[in-house]
Structure 1
Amino acid sequence: MRRSAQALEAGFLSEMLKHAGLEEMNGAFGGGVGEEQFASFLRDEQAKRMVTAGGIGLAETIFNALEAREANDVE
């Protein structure tokens, strides 16, 4: 459950990075078809690293909610 919660947080952070405009680079090494195709891989990896470093607490909140829900279902 924890890995699933972390994956969800990483997906959320990846989308936030996308909408923050961090994918756009100008200059000699920016732009083009290659950047458009591979920018999502970079964002996803950055988001995963953010979660590994502690993230924003979303994964822990989701995990705790799922754990509490499972405990209530068992009773």
Structure 2
Amino acid sequence: MNINNYTNIINNDNSNYLNNNSKSKFIKEAKSAAESFESVFIFEFLESMYSGVKLGDFGGGSSEKMYRSMLNEEISKSISKQGGIGISSEVFNEIIKSQGI
């Protein structure tokens, strides 16, 4: 599913969305969108957290920045898939509520 469909779901711009797709597919996509949102939120949190960590004499450089960013991305995905910090469930509930399900 592309980002435009997520935008339509969240903004309720496409009133025929549920008529064209089954509710179970919509719920699955809404859950995926909520988990993705939480993953991005956690990623940004981790990035800001690690920006204040001072590196030792052997650390640093562009390769470590790239590695740290990829590591933070995978950590955030893992946290989100394992239940996260509660954001995805609230976002999911709001998406469902906005669609009247």
**TM-score interval (norm. to shorter):** 0.7 to 0.9
Q: Which position in structure 1 is the counterpart of 2:56?
A: 26
The root-mean-square deviation of aligned C-alpha atoms, in Å, is: 1.9
Q: Which position in structure 1 is the counterpart of 2:31?
A: 2
Distance in 2 between residues matched to 1:21 and 1:65, nearest whole Å = 31
Q: Residue 91 of structure 2 aligns to a residue in which SS?
A: helix
1:69 maps onto 2:98 in alignment: yes
TM-score, scaled to structure 2: 0.62
**2:40 corresponds to which letter in structure 1?**
G
Q: Residue 56 of structure 1 aligns to a residue in which SS?
A: coil
Higher relative contact order (CA 8 A, sep 6+): 1
Choose the corresponding residue for 2:77, options 39, 45, 48. 48
User: CA offsets per residue over residues 14-72 of structure 1, 9 Å max, x none?
Assistant: 000111127854353x2122111222111010001111121111001000000011017
Larger radius of gyration: 2
Alignment length (residue pairs): 71
Percent of residue pairs bearing the same amino acid type: 27
Distance in 2 between residues matched to 1:36 and 1:23, nearest whole Å = 13
Q: Which runs of 4+ in 1 moved over 4 A?
A: 22-25
* Runs of 5+ consecutive residues of structure 1 not aligned to the other structure: none
